[in-house]
Amino acid sequence: MSNIALPSIRRQLLTITMSLMLIITFFTYIIANNYSKSAAKLSYDRLLASAALQIFENTHIDYHEVIVDLPSATFETLSMASTDRLVYQITQNKGEHLTGYKGLYSHIIDTAGNNWQRSEYDPRDNLQIKFWEGYYKGENYRFIMLSDKLYEVGKAFDINILIGQTTQARDQLAYEMNLKVLQMVTLIFVIAIVLILLGVRQILQPIYAINRKIRRRSPMDLRPIDMSIPKEMADLIATINHFMAQLEVSLDHLKRFTGEVAHQIRTPLAGLKSQAQNALEEADTKIRTEQLKRVLYSTDLLDSTVTQLLNQATLAHRFHSHPFITLSLPELVKSVCRDVAVSAIQRGVIITYQGDENLMIKGDAFALSQMLRNILENAIKFSPTDKEINVSTELHSTEFGYGYIARLCVADQGVGVPNSEKQHVFERFYKSKGDPRAGSGLGLSIAKEVAEHHNATIQLLDNTPSGLIFEINFKLKLTEGEQ
């Protein structure tokens, strides 16, 4: 056996599911990572926005001057980010300092450029909130810029509130959320792997069980395997069971056949022995010659029996190894007829052939020749002298008109076979009782095997006024062109 061993099902299942799990885990992590980052960003941005809004609420104009009265709670919410530093500046118009960190506004406006990220939060007219994240004095800050206008009679003031906070807390939050997710994902991954391992084991269990069951059996135990199995494996078991059943039938056949063969060979051998002994003791030359002739005859008979057995073995082998080919039935018939014509003429029997040319069937030429030869030899054997054996081939439509059959007939004019015996004719080692012309009793059984192998029917009909007709019907699957 040169089959390359395929990777084990177990390993394949594990590889596929593990890879899948890894991919899923990886993507889950990426998604969760992004989500936690944006969630942390969002929540801390809201704190910044609320601080900026609070400041704006407490900004008013007093005698043409903008007054920013920072409410005490302004940085209270921002101090929830307990370790983050804070910078801010409030300016009016085009960056004029009002309060806070001087120079912060212009510095951030220059650094951030157009990279501000606009917020959708816009509850009032003119109010605009923008975010930017970047470095300021060597540390990463998240900045919010709230811009709005304050009005006095005939005059508008542009107010810009800029607050920046370092990002430790939000980074920490994102990190913690991430860690939680990672823990969850790892947990799920581990559980999944355990379940997969158990599942694969469970799935493969029946295979191991069947394997064990078959391995434990004695080679002679061909009973069907009887166990509960998953649906997917039912076919396999059915096939195995079918195979074993066939094996059992074959074994039975073989046993019976061997018995029969032994019996069939032993009888002529016994005869041979006694005749040979008789001949040895016979003084009369004439009688001894007669006896020795009988020894020869018996030897011939034995020889023909063994030949037929070999033929049968050859055919059985061919049935397994030779595919059918398309062949011309008339050609084959004519060829066989020619082969047996000489021996027929020696017995005073004439073989005629009549049939459609171009009748093609699918089959094994050697086997079919063997079949026809056996039938013809049988016919010749039972044919009276000076009588004809008519061989014919013809195309027939089937009984119900659904297709065609190729019919091969071999008709002799012998005594025929009574109906009661017709069914036994094809049995192995069947011989007409008391008929000295009987052969090995294998020829016709071989013919029947060949016919059955070709999915053809073989039957015996009575010829008129007397004799026997072998009718063999091949089912044809004609293509249109062949009709």
Partner 1 sequence: MRTQLVKTFVFLFSCSFFNTYTLAQEPLIFNALKTQQTELTIFGGADKMEIAPFLKAFQKISPHVQINYHELSTRGVYSSFLKDINNPPDILLSSAMNLQIKLVNDGYAQAYESEETKKLPRWAKWRNEVFGFTYETAVIAFNKDFLANEPAPSSRNELLDLIRRRSNKIKGRIGIYDITKVGIGYLLWAHDREQSSSYGRMLESFGYHDTRVFRRSADILQAISKGEITVGYNILSSYARTWAAKHPNIIVVQPKDYTSVIMRSAIIPKKSKNVKGAQQFLDYLLSTKGQTDMANFTNFEPINNEVRTTQPHLLDTSEGQLRPVPLGIQILVINDEMKRQIILQEWENALFEYQ
Residues that bind partner 1 (CB under 8 A): 62-63, 65, 67-72, 74-76, 78-79, 82-88, 90, 98-100, 137-139
| Shortest Å, Cβ 109 to partner 1 | 20
| Shortest Å, Cβ 204 to partner 1 | 56
- Give the residue with the Cβ less far from partner 1, 14 or 70: 70
| Shortest Å, Cβ 59 to partner 1 | 10
Distance CA 250, CA 19 (A): 48
- Give the residue with the Cβ less far from partner 1, 54 or 383: 54
CA-CA-CA-CA torsion sign (21, 22, 28, 31): negative
- Give the residue with the Cβ less far from partner 1, 90 or 344: 90
| Shortest Å, Cβ 100 to partner 1 | 7
| Shortest Å, Cβ 66 to partner 1 | 9
- Give the residue with the Cβ less far from partner 1, 90 or 359: 90
| Shortest Å, Cβ 52 to partner 1 | 14
- Give the residue with the Cβ less far from partner 1, 73 or 227: 73
| Shortest Å, Cβ 128 to partner 1 | 23
Other beta carbons less than 10 A from residue 450's beta carbon: 27
Residue with tokens 């394997």: 211
- Give the residue with the Cβ less far from partner 1, 60 or 347: 60
Name the residue among 147, 174, 172, 161 with its Cα closest to residue 86: 161
| Shortest Å, Cβ 98 to partner 1 | 6
- Pairing verdict, β 360-363 and 325-328: antiparallel
- Give the residue with the Cβ less far from partner 1, 72 or 483: 72
| Shortest Å, Cβ 123 to partner 1 | 24
- Give the residue with the Cβ less far from partner 1, 90 or 174: 90
- Give the residue with the Cβ less far from partner 1, 67 or 194: 67
| Shortest Å, Cβ 76 to partner 1 | 5
Contacts of 453-457 with C-beta under 8 Å, sequence gap 24+, read 453/319, 453/364, 453/367, 454/324, 454/361, 454/362, 454/363, 454/364, 454/367, 454/368
| Shortest Å, Cβ 80 to partner 1 | 10
* 3-state SS record for the chain: CCCCCCCCHHHHHHHHHHHHHHHHHHHHHHHHHHHHHHHHHHHHHHHHHHHHHHHHHCEEEECCEEEECCCCCCCCCHHHCCCCCEEEEEEECCCEEEEECCCHHHHHHHHHCCCCEECCCCCCCCCEEEEEEEEECCEEEEEEEEEEEEEECCEEEEEEEEEEEECHHHHHHHHHHHHHHHHHHHHHHHHHHHHHHHHHHHHHHHHHHHHHHHHHCCCCCCCCCCCCCCHHHHHHHHHHHHHHHHHHHHHHHHHHHHHHHHHHHHHHHHHHHHHHHHHHHCCCHHHHHHHHHHHHHHHHHHHHHHHHHHHHHHHHHHHHHCCCEEEEHHHHHHHHHHHHHHHHHHCCCEEEEEECCCCEEEECHHHHHHHHHHHHHHHHHHCCCCCEEEEEEEEEECCCCCCEEEEEEEECCCCCCCHHHHCCCCCCCCCCCCCCCCCCCCHHHHHHHHHHHCCCEEEEEECCCCCEEEEEEEEECCCHHHC
- Give the residue with the Cβ less far from partner 1, 74 or 291: 74
| Shortest Å, Cβ 104 to partner 1 | 11
- Pairing verdict, β 360-363 and 350-355: unpaired
- Give the residue with the Cβ less far from partner 1, 136 or 366: 136
Residue 107's beta-bridge partner residues? none
- Give the residue with the Cβ less far from partner 1, 55 or 351: 55
